[in-house]
Amino acid sequence: MPIRPLWGEGKVRARDPHSEVLHRGSWADSSITLDHRRWGCGEAELRWTAPRHVIVLTEKGRTSRTHVRAEGSGVYDGEDRPGALTFVPAGAERWGAYREADLIYCALWIDPAVQIPGCERLSQLPTMVNGRDTVIATLLSSLCAEVAAGVRPDSAYIEHLVALAAMRMVSFDTNPKPVSRHAPLNRRLLERVNEFIEAHMDADISLTDLAALANMPVDTFARRFKAAMGRAPYAHVIERRIARAETLLATTDTPIGHLALALGFSSQSHFTSAFRRLKGMTPKAYRSQFFPES
């Protein structure tokens, strides 16, 4: 079975290769893709260039040896183990050799054209192989667990996750650029955003959609929104959905599964998890306060 990466082109030579896709998902018009798979070989060598940035987390397994060079310079020579984190910017050529590999990993592929805070700096970063960062590792592991459980997070959630991961990657840079300060969004724009959320509650609301309302770049909008509201746009969308859920649970007998979909959640379990996190109880328990017989 071929062991070629999901994106890009180059040459791969391998002995006893095997590759199995465990889960896959894409968001924001396929500009963000998650590839969760098992990958292994007796030996493999590849020379590869991809048009997308990729952040890779080794979840399980090992190699007896991993040797990677990028843009002709030595980067890493050692072993691959759980928790290892790799970043390769779009367009960077990498050469890799692997021995006795049996890994389960998740790769987050990011289109350089995507307008998400932090991502504009990724092209300027060097390749990192088998580094460590508990924050990014936790983000990717949680996303894989949700997708494996049948939950499909909406685009705003994914964009927020990518922004956090990208900003974390940028923070490793030894020559960071100064970050400009932005004034909070004004009341008129906040009202427009809330009106849009209320009118599209059952849709997959993305950060790009919200930034377009203010006619701003996504990163500028996100910073100005947070300055005004004290929380990220994604968190605000979830709070608005839960506020609507409170009203519907208290005034209707619509099945909770139907409410979940009508409120833009990917599943009843996703809705229940978000409701419990914000309200400290399940939707069913909340409804029972108004309809004890339910």
Same domain, 81 and 191: no
Instruction: Please tell me what DSSP assigns to residue 123.
Output: G
What pLDDT is attached to residue 28? 86
CA separation, residue 248 to residues 10, 107, 264, 279 (Å): 54, 39, 14, 15
Question: Which helix (H) or strand (E) covers residue 44, if one does?
Answer: strand 32-49
Both 106 and 13 in one domain: the answer is yes
Does one domain contain both 109 and 19? yes
Residue 161 lies in a domain: no
CA distances from 193 to 27, 112, 128, 229 (A): 21, 26, 38, 12
> Is 160 part of a structural domain of the chain?
no
Answer yes or no: are the C-beta atoms of 237 and 196 closer than 8 Å. Answer: no
Q: Which residues contact 16 (CB under 8 A, 6 or more apart)?
A: 40, 41, 42, 43
pTM over 0.75: no
Under-70 pLDDT residues of the chain: 1-2, 71-74, 174-182, 294
Residues 127 and 191 in one domain: no
The total domain count for the chain is: 2
- Beta-strand runs (E) in 116-211: 128-131
Q: Are residues 201 and 113 in the same domain?
A: no
Whose tokens are 């990518």? That residue is 162
Query: 116 and 45 in one domain?
Result: yes
Does residue 272 lie in a domain region?
A: yes
User: What would the pLDDT profile of 56-105 be if each residue is shown by its tens digit?
Assistant: 999 999 999 999 988 656 678 999 999 999 999 988 888 899 999 999 99
Please, are residues 237 and 155 in contact by the beta-carbon 8 Å criterion?
no
* Domain assignment present for 105: yes
**Structural contact between residues 89 and 123, judged by C-beta atoms closer than 8 angstroms:** yes
Confidence (pLDDT) at 151: 86
Which domain does 239 fall in, by range?
187-288
Backbone φ and ψ for 5, nearest 5 degrees, come out as -60, 160
The CATH number that applies at residue 201 is: 1.10.10.60
Residue 73, domain member (yes or no): yes
Q: What is the DSSP letter of 270?
A: H
* 60 falls within a domain: yes
- pLDDT tens figures, 20-58: 999 999 998 889 999 999 999 999 999 888 889 999 999
Same domain, 17 and 123: yes
Instruction: Give the model's pLDDT for residue 104.
Output: 96
Token digits of residue 47:
């020379």
For the domain that residue 37 is a member of, what is the CATH number?
A: 2.60.120.10
pLDDT mean across residues, the chain = 89
Domain identity same for 209 and 128: no
Decide if 217 is inside a domain: yes
Assess if residue 175 is contained within a domain.
Answer: no
